[in-house]
Structure 1
Amino acid sequence: MTRPHVRALALAAVASLALGACQPAHTPRTGPEGPGSLTRGIDAAEYVRDYESAAAGDSAGSVSESAPRSASAGAPPPLAQPEGRGRPRQPEPGPLEDNTFREAGTSGFVDAGTDAASTFALDVDSGSFGVARTLLAQGLVPPAASIRVEEWVNAMPYADPAPTDADLGVRTEAVAAPGSEDTQLVRVAVGAREVTPADRPRVNLTLVVDRSGSMDVRERLGLVQSSLALLADRLREDDTVSLVSFEDQARPLLAPTPVSETERILDAVERLTPGGSTHLEAGLALGYDQAREAFDPGAVNLVVLASDGVANVGATGPGSITERIAEEGAEGIHLVTVGYGMGNYNDHLMEQLADLGDGFYAYVDTFEEAERLFGSDLVTTLTPVAAQARAQVRFDPEVVEGYRLVGYENREIADEDFADLDVDAGELGAGHRATALYEVRTAPGVAPGTVLGEAEVRWRPVGVGGAGSGDGRATSPIVTGDPGAAPSSDLALADAVADLALLVKGQRPVADPTLTLGELRNRVQVLADRDVRGAEELLEMARDAVAVVPERLVVD
């Protein structure tokens, strides 16, 4: 396969980096480019294009089984794979076949007089949103069990300012629900402080890549290769990358290597050819071994699992390596899971592994999404700033009759454990945003401006440049909005994406029980016309949902 970048351009980029004149990286979700952003001129998209060509039988795009061109000295010999590209493939499962999802349930209204506090771990997973986007775009209805509403809400970009005087900050806003005199929509927004690329610590990144036969379905492995090439393009020269692959067994493909040695990293990426069964547990175990061997207490130490989550050799459930993942997370090696492909995909396993490893779970279905995650979001949020992060919303039962937290069903924490930071919760990295929505029923006669309660977040500071000392705490009062006031763009966007998730799941929003998908699409169109960030993507999903989700699926 032709090297997926122009050598002359890459060499020129490296030379310019040495002189400090690097080209800024495009960061579509994280705002203005920060000092230290860079690109090496690698054409990462070439990998997935070549993979698609090979899948179509284009011999020019097939992978050579010989050693890669200009492979670095000491590179391991090539891996012969019985089921690699260029050979006939097995029948591919359809996008809705052989997937594993786990129903998280749906929260109902809570009587504030009986239980006035709502407590949950903060979460920035977005995998459920990515899965639904993929299926809806293909004209398919996402299974109800695949929809976790909070992951849809947290997939949207919001304009909340990052805190500057603390690791985390919390803001609240409320607005009267349309057509309801006694229901308020409340948004609780938590933001993590930002760390510029120039100021962040060095990164020790261990990539654990599934190259089993199931990763040869469509262009999954090519998309993984493009994702890894994006990291090679955007990480700093003093960052370190390791690569472990697994199929029937786990294999080390690249020892810890500075990103400045870009050619060695790309040589290892090119050696990822598919074939064999899936021994995910062995891959993660070897990945953690390699990450622990290269561990640097002054760096960010991270394991990234790229897989479809289908384990069929060794222990295959999320509990199989639970203890190791949890221990390593507590000792400073965090786990990010990135899912690829629909059809023979295990969403539940990927989500649970990320939760165990104090990381987050994302889903990649296109090169554009890979570029957004690996070329921008992951690079800028690698630095953890808050561990064991959790939120508690306490309502005043004198003015609130009941409330409902939308989503977060599998992130609940006992109210009495809120102040105990030894109880496992979530972790937020630099620039992360976490949002929660509540539907709140007020007592009769509650006037605008009444304080309904208070939102509080607590966390344990981690990483460099932390604000203050000791465990962190931030609060914000929740105040009723005026009946005629319009919601902010952020609240309107969060409300729309939550309503879309509920309707696609087959449920109706409590605050607007007669809402239809067509009406929701029109609401999102208004946001898109106002150029609200994220609204265009949401509008496309709403249009797809109108086309494929029968209204009869939506139950009262």
Structure 2
Amino acid sequence: MTPLRTVVAALVGSLALTLTACSQDHEPEPGPEPGTVTRGIDTASYVEDYEVGAGDSGAMNYSQSQPQSAPGSARSLSEGGGTDPLRIPGPLEDNTFVDEGTSGFVDPREDARSTFALDVDTGSYGVARTLLEQGLRPPAESIRVEEWVNALPVADEAPAGADLAVTSESGMAPSLEDGTQLVRVGVAAREVTAAERPPVHVTLVVDRSGSMDIRERLGLVQSSLALLADRLRDDDTVAVVSFEDQAEPLLPPTPVRDTETILEAVEGLKPGGSTNLEAGLTLGYEQARKHFDPEGLNLVVLCSDGVANVGATGPGSITERIAEEGRDGISLVTVGYGMGNYNDHLMEQLADLGDGFYSYVDSYDEAEELFGTALTTTLTPVAAEARTQVAFDPELVSSYRLVGYDNRQIADEDFADMDVDAGELGAGHHATALYEVRLADGVEPGDVIGTASVRWTSPRDGEPQDAGAELTAADPAAEASPALALPAAAADLAQLLKRAAPYAERPVSLESLAERVEVLETEGVDGAEELAELVRAAQDAD
């Protein structure tokens, strides 16, 4: 028999090794940008090593109704003593998109003003990129053109003193050959460095239902949470609420200096059950409000595929709470994961209600960009209830058309009413709007054809602020700058794939668009390489 002291010694030695392994050196070190840190966590390993089916397989359920047969990994669902085949839905199956339509040309003699809420969502672009990379064309109803434009880098300089700055540029519309001009209105928010930003308090509301049991869903969510633990400052806090049939607090607000506790919460995210989205958001807001910091940045971040099949499922069921919390300083960011049985419409609408933004994450690189940097820096409030009104001179403009923003339009008379919900911009955000403009006879290059006005509430003093720029007619012989040519190409690609009137009949093709983007890529324009890859993927897609 082994002597007792030998057994005790072995147990003590094993415990010491365990404690050493669990208390890895996660002391923050300077990150790549001033004021940023990193703790050396292997954040990519969570998605790389994710095991499908490791959760409560007896409770897994993709939806209340069985999904259609689709390519993917087959697994079994044991429910009520029976076993039914369950397949991961294909990327184009059971998704929910809503077509907001496509605006046509407007006669300024009937309506000279165009008013809309500024928007920095990029979810539609992320969804399309995911599908195109798999050789699939995105559904027409999934395309919101402005989100494609705003997903690419913009060269506009951030203002040094004011919250927002407005710029404009005009050129010839590259998708038309009838003299139509393209006018870009750009809005840039002031920057706040990582060192200058206030403390961040993130409450993650994590969907861990059966539909999330995919590496590119729950695995990426785990990596996303690990990235927060790796990159946030010691005095920032992270809380986690998880939901399936019911919601439960998985991690109370925890200072990031307590890294191991946060990583334990990452490991505790196991799939199983249906999707009570309302319960998850309700509990998430309760946690965030209970620990609200009036001097900090308070965020609720919903990580989900948007599928909701328990409780009230429509955005109307929790709209009042989301809108109220947004007005009172808790922003909602929605982050979508996975294609197939995915609800894009719900995720986009919830973010708009919650004064935040909607992103779609389809890879670890995207998760690192959002959770490693953008989430905490760009969400530092700079402009609340931001809206734009463009007024065209009916003597000089025969017709105009706003490209995109079809579900963000505001009544012209509500432009000055700051109680009307609009958009929010954070530090370093850029928003771009494109107008196609047909000029009256006799208009000369440089003539002022309209004005662009932006109005918002400043978080510095709570007072309304204004900025603006004149719109001028372009010189038909002048070449458009990259700041106009790149968003024009992104808008053309989105509209080509949407195939909606009035765009379907235009003399533009993927081949001609590829040539335009290749020129920008050769010139080294930031964002052109990414767009060129997307155009090539669209050419190869079915």
Give the residue type in structure 2 aligned to 1:435.
T
Give the residue type in structure 1 aligned to 2:147.
E
User: Is the 1:177–1:511 Cα contact (8 Å) retained in structure 2?
Assistant: no
User: Is the 1:39–1:233 Cα contact (8 Å) retained in structure 2?
Assistant: yes
SS at match of 2:347: helix
Q: What is the TM-score when the length of structure 2 is the normalising length?
A: 0.89
User: Is the 1:399–1:443 Cα contact (8 Å) retained in structure 2?
Assistant: yes
SS at match of 2:348: helix
Is residue 2:243 matched to residue 1:246? yes
Shift of 1:234: 1.1
User: Is the 2:302–2:332 Cα contact (8 Å) retained in structure 1?
Assistant: yes
- Tell me: CA distance 1:110–1:511, structure 2 relative to 1, closer, same or farther (3 Å): farther
Shift of 1:176: 2.2
Query: Aligned equivalents of 1:415 and 1:396: distance in 2?
Result: 16
- Tell me: CA distance 1:283–1:512, structure 2 relative to 1, closer, same or farther (3 Å): same
Greater Rg over alpha carbons, structure:
2
- Tell me: CA distance 1:113–1:335, structure 2 relative to 1, closer, same or farther (3 Å): same
Please name the residue that 1:41 is paired with: 40
Greater CA drift, 169-178 or 504-513: 504-513
Please name the residue that 2:139 is paired with: 143
Give the residue type in structure 2 aligned to 1:157.
P
Please name the residue that 2:518 is paired with: 525
Shift of 1:182: 3.4
Shift of 1:177: 2.7
Is residue 2:58 matched to residue 1:82? yes
Cα deviation, 1:238-286, whole Å, max 9, x if unaligned, reads 1111000000000100001011111111100110010100000000000
Q: 2:30 aligns with which of 23, 26, 33?
A: 23
Query: Aligned equivalents of 1:495 and 1:512: distance in 2?
Result: 17
Matches within 5 A, 1:532-551: 532-548=525-541
Shift of 1:531: 1.4
Query: Aligned equivalents of 1:511 and 1:433: distance in 2?
Result: 29
Please name the residue that 1:364 is paired with: 361
Cα deviation, 1:290-340, whole Å, max 9, x if unaligned, reads 000110111111100000000000001111111110111111111000000
Query: Aligned equivalents of 1:244 and 1:396: distance in 2?
Result: 52
Is residue 2:427 matched to residue 1:430? yes
Query: Aligned equivalents of 1:87 and 1:417: distance in 2?
Result: 53
Give the residue type in structure 2 aligned to 1:531.
G
Q: 1:162 aligns with which of 147, 158, 178?
A: 158
Cα deviation, 1:20-48, whole Å, max 9, x if unaligned, reads xx3223xxxxxxx3x31111111111000
Query: Aligned equivalents of 1:442 and 1:330: distance in 2?
Result: 41
Shift of 1:220: 1.0
SS at match of 2:387: strand
Query: Aligned equivalents of 2:214 and 2:314: distance in 1?
Result: 22
Shift of 1:379: 2.4
Please name the residue that 1:398 is paired with: 395
SS at match of 2:471: strand
Query: Aligned equivalents of 1:162 and 1:127: distance in 2?
Result: 24
Please name the residue that 2:458 is paired with: 461
Query: Aligned equivalents of 2:26 and 2:104: distance in 1?
Result: 55
Matches within 5 A, 1:43-442: 43-51=42-50, 54-55=51-52, 82-83=58-59, 88=76, 90-178=86-174, 180=177, 182-442=179-439
SS at match of 1:110: coil
Query: Aligned equivalents of 1:414 and 1:248: distance in 2?
Result: 40
Shift of 1:154: 0.7
Query: Aligned equivalents of 1:548 and 1:469: distance in 2?
Result: 48
Query: Aligned equivalents of 2:96 and 2:58: distance in 1?
Result: 27
- Tell me: CA distance 1:9–1:279, structure 2 relative to 1, closer, same or farther (3 Å): closer
Give the residue type in structure 1 aligned to 2:388.
A
Query: Aligned equivalents of 1:509 and 1:332: distance in 2?
Result: 41
Query: Aligned equivalents of 1:379 and 1:98: distance in 2?
Result: 33
Is residue 2:480 matched to residue 1:473? no
Shift of 1:81: 6.1
Q: 1:489 aligns with which of 472, 479, 482?
A: 482
Cα deviation, 1:101-134, whole Å, max 9, x if unaligned, reads 0010000000011111100000000000000011
Give the residue type in structure 2 aligned to 1:519.
S
Query: Aligned equivalents of 1:535 and 1:244: distance in 2?
Result: 39
User: Is the 2:74–2:87 Cα contact (8 Å) retained in structure 1?
Assistant: no
Give the residue type in structure 1 aligned to 2:58.
P
Give the residue type in structure 1 aligned to 2:173.
A
Aligned residue pairs, count: 503
Query: Aligned equivalents of 2:308 and 2:401: distance in 1?
Result: 36
SS at match of 1:277: coil
User: Is the 1:400–1:443 Cα contact (8 Å) retained in structure 2?
Assistant: yes
Query: Aligned equivalents of 2:506 and 2:293: distance in 1?
Result: 53
Query: Aligned equivalents of 1:99 and 1:111: distance in 2?
Result: 37
Q: What is the TM-score when the length of structure 1 is the normalising length?
A: 0.87
SS at match of 1:435: strand
Query: Aligned equivalents of 1:149 and 1:242: distance in 2?
Result: 34
Shift of 1:352: 0.4
SS at match of 2:202: strand
Give the residue type in structure 2 aligned to 1:37.
T
Shift of 1:384: 1.0
Q: Which runs of 5+ in 2 are unaligned?
A: 1-19, 61-72, 78-85
Q: Name segments (4+ residues, structure 1) moved above 3 Å.
A: 7-13, 80-89, 178-182, 507-512
SS at match of 1:290: helix
User: Is the 2:74–2:88 Cα contact (8 Å) retained in structure 1?
Assistant: no
SS at match of 2:49: helix
Give the residue type in structure 1 aligned to 2:534.
M
Give the residue type in structure 1 aligned to 2:477.
G
- Tell me: CA distance 1:150–1:86, structure 2 relative to 1, closer, same or farther (3 Å): closer
Shift of 1:82: 3.3
Query: Aligned equivalents of 2:259 and 2:214: distance in 1?
Result: 28
Note the aligned Cα RMSD (angstroms): 2.2
Shift of 1:470: 2.6
Sequence identity percentage: 66
Query: Aligned equivalents of 2:397 and 2:254: distance in 1?
Result: 57
SS at match of 1:251: strand
SS at match of 2:356: coil
Query: Aligned equivalents of 1:186 and 1:510: distance in 2?
Result: 17
Query: Aligned equivalents of 1:469 and 1:313: distance in 2?
Result: 39
Query: Aligned equivalents of 1:451 and 1:182: distance in 2?
Result: 17
Please name the residue that 1:498 is paired with: 491
SS at match of 1:141: coil
SS at match of 1:411: coil
